Structure 1
């Protein structure tokens, strides 16, 4: 197996070994059931009267704006800052620093994809249980929304990795990333011109893909997200190369 691919698997195993990762996976998969069951048992009729798609998008919104960003921050702090604290970040391996950096980042991205898939499965199965009118077409549209959400989350991952490399305390990295994320969410209210420059703005961009989509807007948005992700990763890698063994 290619050393880079082998190390991605190694990083995935390290993340999966953490109890908090297992907790996130369970929460992601069972959140749709829990919310819908809770709403039904508490007789929240206004919420349950909404179409399944609307409820499912609310759940996706909760995942991409709260749960998954928190997982990204904790994973970046663990694989970069935490290992730097323990002195295990740059152990002698049969791969170079670029492969090591990319494999760590890719493992976080893959876990995000896994959680999005689990979230979609939870949403689909819970919709079948609680709404007899839910069909294959609805499941396909829902899958598209979850898949599209992966791209802005990858951009947020690049930001998290960059900041995790700037600090030497994993606790400081997580708290700093949470504060930065909150600042990014509220900054556009003070400076509206910054709205489309922040990665956090695009976390709910799946809503803009529903219905008629402007081809020009789609290309511009995808290019911006990809270029900003590349910029953050390049800067992060530069910092990574400066780390001492």
Structure 2
């Protein structure tokens, strides 16, 4: 029985991630694959094919529900931990791909701690993150950035943040920038409780080979430096905001 190959590939990827205990990523794949199968059932006229597809949908739906429960249990117990290892020169790790699944209407505040949002390309990375947050988090009110000052281009750094702040205000989002000379940790904290810790911070992409190559704008196509991303959940996050 030949099921839609797109669904097969997505569901296979889901199983692979599921096996690696990358549950929230697996869930996204299962949901996408299931949608394709459900759409296919609607147009399928052969009874045996419909019955086969229904059985497959039920199997994956049950697994998706089990994962949802598991993630909920781990969050409640404060034990949720998902790790993604980004290999040197690998691609497919844009911010949306890495943690876009956690950006939703529950996110009202975002805190970004990263000592290296200083040079032009690093500030552009932060800008890309802000674009993603504004598009994904419909109830977003505040983005807080804690970083360090750039001695060489401090004036530029302040101007870039000022421009960004003005633009974010058009979307009713306030930008607060704080400076710390002792900051070492790099993490993105969402008011919904999710904490994304990237070993290298936002700046884990390699510089593009030139200004006219793939990956200049689409970070999923940009080769990366090796780093580790740890995703955890804390129920105490909400209390520390506002």
Sort the TM-score into its range (normalised by shorter chain): under 0.3
- Hey, which of these two has a bigger chunk of strand by percent? 2
TM-score for both structures, normalised by structure 1: 0.27
TM-score for both structures, normalised by structure 2: 0.28
